Chains A and B, each alone.
Chain A
């Protein structure tokens, strides 16, 4: 832009850019576009690959049948894995969502603003959100599976995933609550409404899309990670509906077992597709909610 303008109408006193600079400018623009397109082609390419390869192997029976064949997973479907993943995330959310939202309300509404206590909490939560998933697996194994004798079971895995989602939900809910306009809160408080009712009737409804959005993100993150459930909940094969005290199959760990056995990858394509599409739906909804909130 700048180069074109100076070239078209060189103002008196300004010289057009030297030729070398123009050329390097043009090269720079080309490189920037090239790199930018990498950011476009890479995700679409990976998604396209999974879609094309996965769709060919996807069927209704695949979604509704249990795995079969030898080695396991070379025939049949992934119904128990879908159920297991849903159960794990649902129970985990049942723990993490109330705790996270209540904690966030405590931080935003019942703590003095910008007290060191709030900052320490936020720092701790951000550190924990960054701790690798496998560390949660280590913790879940040592505490839930071994110490509390819950064995490798749905409940151990769900609590582990709940712990993993907790800091994400806490941070997100806190941001959503803080994002509610000050004037609303102050107007309500000035009318003599108690803090509790201000939170319940004014702040929470306003912050709800933001909280839901981060909850979906956290749930998607948890549903997709195999590392925390590998030692706490998942087995290569489980039948029937998930029970609290029995191990379950999960989509990511099923995919891992099938690939690491390395025998027959046909089913793995479809499993990966189901997992990715499910997570994309969750993330897409989260993004929509966030955008609605921004407007």
Chain B
């Protein structure tokens, strides 16, 4: 018998009930976690399973990577080349516009804006991020598409150009907010000591802020890329939904997401078309997971610098 034994008695009497509910709670929360893992694993495996038949011959001339989309040909061909190219073109344009402007807004919010303006800018960007994809599609349809038809001399205003422009607006808040955060995370002392040596603001931004915030800026681009690749409704309404291989930004195109949205309702179960669409979905998953692991790495680096 040790000396601590007597004092433990009153506690142990109370603990019995606590222990039971504790065990139950632990079990329940673990079960919930297991269910989450199970559901999510099913999601990946199922899409992989449905995509698999299309992947076997992906690289052959009739495969999803090289053929065109010709469901009415004999035998029908379900190539994704036009969709991959459309996704690439739209995403490139969107990022080419949104990255410089987004970084500019981020820098402005972190360095130039007075406090009151910063408090206005933040909710404004959140507003931009909160508008759903389909409303952007509608907005682009009644503004840009209409203008291109009236003043641009185009038969239909829907084009990869319009899709890319609206997509740029959609990813802008994500890039701006992430870059603003990483600019603001640069230690104050560094910034102030640089300013105190009398160098110009350009110099401080170029030599201090940008190098320090670089991992965060990369993360911002990656985040924007992930958003742009996965957007569906806006490009579905604006890019023109044409299955021809696009040759310029004024052509109509059909990004991967738009292809899935258009064709899935008409794809019979288990057909080559159905599997090709799931292969497109699998490509989207792989892309976002890759992008996310890059962001994950970069974020870890930013945190290490910050801490």
Interface of A toward B, CB cutoff 8 Å: 1-3, 5-6, 14, 17, 21-22, 24-25, 28-29, 31-33, 35-36, 38-40, 42-44, 46-47, 49-50, 53, 98-100, 102-103, 105-107, 109-110, 121, 123-128, 130-139, 141-143, 146, 163, 166-167, 170, 192-197, 199, 220, 223-227, 230-231, 252-253, 255-256, 259-260, 265, 268-269, 272, 275-276, 279-280, 283, 287
Contact = CB atoms under 8 A, between A and B. Distances in A.
Tell me the dominant secondary structure on chain B's binding face.
helix
B104 A192 contact: no
Nearest to B129: A283
A24 B47 contact: no
A17 B198 contact: yes
A224 B111 contact: no
Given A2-B195, A135-B285, A36 B257 contact: no
25 contacts: A17-B198, A28-B205, A31-B104, A32-B111, A36-B109, A36-B121, A40-B120, A46-B169, A47-B127, A100-B36, A110-B25, A127-B288, A130-B292, A131-B288, A135-B284, A195-B25, A196-B21, A199-B25, A226-B233, A227-B133, A231-B265, A265-B141, A268-B142, A269-B142, A279-B130
**Closest 4 pairs between A and B when the two form their complex, measured CB to CB:** A132-B230, A224-B132, A194-B18, A36-B108
Nearest to A194: B18
Contact of A226 (B35, B134, B284, B288): B134
B36 A170 contact: yes
Contacts of B289: 127, 130-131
B123 A196 contact: no
A106 B29 contact: yes
A73 to B, nearest CB: 13
B202 interface: yes
Given A106-B29, A106-B30, A265-B142, 13 more contacts: A28-B200, A39-B121, A99-B35, A124-B37, A133-B230, A137-B260, A143-B42, A163-B43, A167-B40, A194-B15, A272-B139, A275-B134, A276-B131
Given A36-B112, A128-B40, A133-B230, A259 B237 contact: yes
Contact of A36 (B40, B105, B132): B105
A259 B158 CA distance: 13
B52 interface: no
Interface in B164-212: 169, 172-173, 176, 195-196, 198-202, 204-205
B147 to A, nearest CB: 13
B113 A256 contact: no
Nearest to B237: A259
B33 A194 contact: no
A35 B104 contact: yes
A130 B289 CA distance: 8
Interface in B23-43: 24-26, 28-33, 35-37, 39-40, 42-43
